[in-house]
Homo-oligomer: A and B are copies of this chain.
Amino acid sequence: MNNKIIHQAFVDTANALTPRLFRSKTYPQQQVEVLANEQAFQGWEVKPAGTMEEFSSKVLRQGDSVTLDFGDHQVGYVTLSIRNIDSNADAPLRLKLIFGEMPCEIGEDFADYSGWLSRSWLQEEIIHVDVLPGVVTLPRRYTFRYMKIVVLATSIRYHVSFPEIYCETVTSANVLQIAPLPAHVPEDLQQMDRIAIKTLQDCMQTVFEDGPKRDRRLWIGDLRLQALVNYETFQNNDLVKRCLYLFAGMRLEDGQVGACLYEKPQPFIDDIYLYDYSLFFVSTLYDYYSATQDRQTLLELWVVAVEQMEIALKRLNAKGIVQDDDTWYCFLDWHDDLNKQAGAQAALIYNLKRGLLLANELGDIDRSVFIQSAIESASAAAMDILWDTDRQFFVSGESRQVSWASQIWMALAEVLDEQANAELLERLIKENPEIGMSTPYLYHHFIEALVLCGKREEAFKQMRNYWGGMIADGADTFWELYNPADKRLSPYGSNLVNSYCHAWSCTPSYFIRKYFVNGEGM
């Protein structure tokens, strides 16, 4: 909670852009049982256990429980209509309610949770209902497909039933904005597009949240990808603008754009600084301007973008390379062993190139010259220091690590020419270095890099393989993490707190709508 730089006019602009949320009611579709089954995804199988018509008249006694399946991913506020059965409720009703995006959250006992993120992220409530029959609307927002009800205590005189349960969903995404895909798009991509759009929709609240279950806040790394999908789908461009103004309006004490921010009790930024994330202010502004031609916003925020480039350039060492260290100074991917130096260098060049385009657009010649020069020297240093001629890969850090992330980001930075980039990615796929990809976030950049160097067919093959794997494993929305070789993988010590509707995973719709529909069809 150090000093922050607050530009109140920017924050006020952001606040004025706070969207109204669209609300609609959704109902559970069936009763289910969640059963341990090592063959099922993460070891939990979901089996139908009765219709909702049966449920509405079902009598639950103390100790009984039921799990309801809403049939799809939900973000919203839950209302339960509760009736006392056999006699009046001569004592309060005590219920436990558990909400899960995934079967694991229903199947596993939260009491055994041992992850290192707070247990408070587990969506579990114990509530008391003093008046029956009654209608209870829970005050907190939940993110879930499954809802388990455990009747902890009635009295010896009464039991309960639940004639109606529903969720009032919330989103700032207007689903009427979505153009249907042309008929020539194959069904698997149609399905992937639907799921990706739902992922974005559920993350679109009063900001672009990273995940509506966790962390429920605005990260600029997620924002950048969400915005790209948004331009192809919901076109709520004011929400992107609001987020840009929030990041511009509240910066860290040395001027850096923060990695993430909170909206409540009033907007504030977190202390986290990440080298790549601050730079993404530049490319996110570039993407926004490209989509909207909103010159007024560009004019206002340009100075913040320039500052991010200047700050990033200060980290270059005498050789013109990003100074490496062991801290979490740059994100790139959730990977404990990934060295970030080459990726950071590439992210710098990538954002400088977009900064240059903006400088030229604005006719800011001084900055244009400065940035052009920075691109050239950073690129030269990358080739000089990080390019390993023998191995034909970019290396990172003192150990000269070869990773997927470094190659992908260098390809996106276009340090090599298109042909060499294509060969780099082919080599990457073929040689498959040990330091691989952990997150859909890095996968996005891999796909984007393939597209960039003309390998659309390979790009869509990889996308179908990876996101299609999530679909085959039961995704209603795309996940924060997916490792086909380790499906319980969590960077938090427990897959219970993984986010199963995560902003940075929603980009298939961007690829499908931007490149497939308007491309050759592949």
Instruction: List chain A positions with a Cβ less than 8 A from chain B.
Output: 1, 86-88, 90-94, 116-121, 125-126, 128, 130-134, 140, 152-156, 214-216, 262, 264-265, 268, 270-271
Q: Are B92 and A118 in contact, CB atoms less than 8 angstroms apart?
A: yes
In the complex, what residue of chain B is closest to A261 when comparing beta carbons? B88
Q: Are B118 and A155 in contact, CB atoms less than 8 angstroms apart?
A: yes
Q: Known contacts A94-B120, A134-B265; can you find 13 more A-B pairs with CB under 8 A?
A: A91-B117, A91-B214, A92-B118, A92-B120, A94-B118, A118-B153, A118-B155, A118-B156, A119-B152, A120-B152, A120-B153, A130-B216, A131-B264
* 11 interchain pairs, CB-CB under 8 A: A88-B271, A90-B270, A91-B117, A91-B120, A91-B215, A117-B155, A118-B156, A120-B155, A125-B128, A130-B264, A132-B265
In the complex, what residue of chain B is closest to A131 when comparing beta carbons? B264
Q: Are B270 and A156 in contact, CB atoms less than 8 angstroms apart?
A: no
In the complex, what residue of chain B is closest to A94 when comparing beta carbons? B120
Q: Are A118 and B133 in contact, CB atoms less than 8 angstroms apart?
A: no
A154 cross-chain contacts in B, Cβ below 8 A: 118, 120
A126 cross-chain contacts in B, Cβ below 8 A: 125-126
Q: A1-B87, A116-B156 are in contact. Are A121 and B140 (CB under 8 A)?
A: no
Q: How far is the CA of A133 from the CA of B266 in the complex (A)?
A: 10
Q: Are B94 and A271 in contact, CB atoms less than 8 angstroms apart?
A: no
In the complex, what residue of chain B is closest to A130 when comparing beta carbons? B140
**CB of A115, distance to nearest CB on chain B (Å):** 11
Q: Are B93 and A120 in contact, CB atoms less than 8 angstroms apart?
A: yes
Q: How far is the CA of A153 from the CA of B115 in the complex (A)?
A: 12
A87 cross-chain contacts in B, Cβ below 8 A: 1, 271
Q: How far is the CA of A270 from the CA of B117 in the complex (A)?
A: 48
Q: Are A91 and B131 in contact, CB atoms less than 8 angstroms apart?
A: no
Q: How far is the CA of A94 from the CA of B88 in the complex (A)?
A: 32
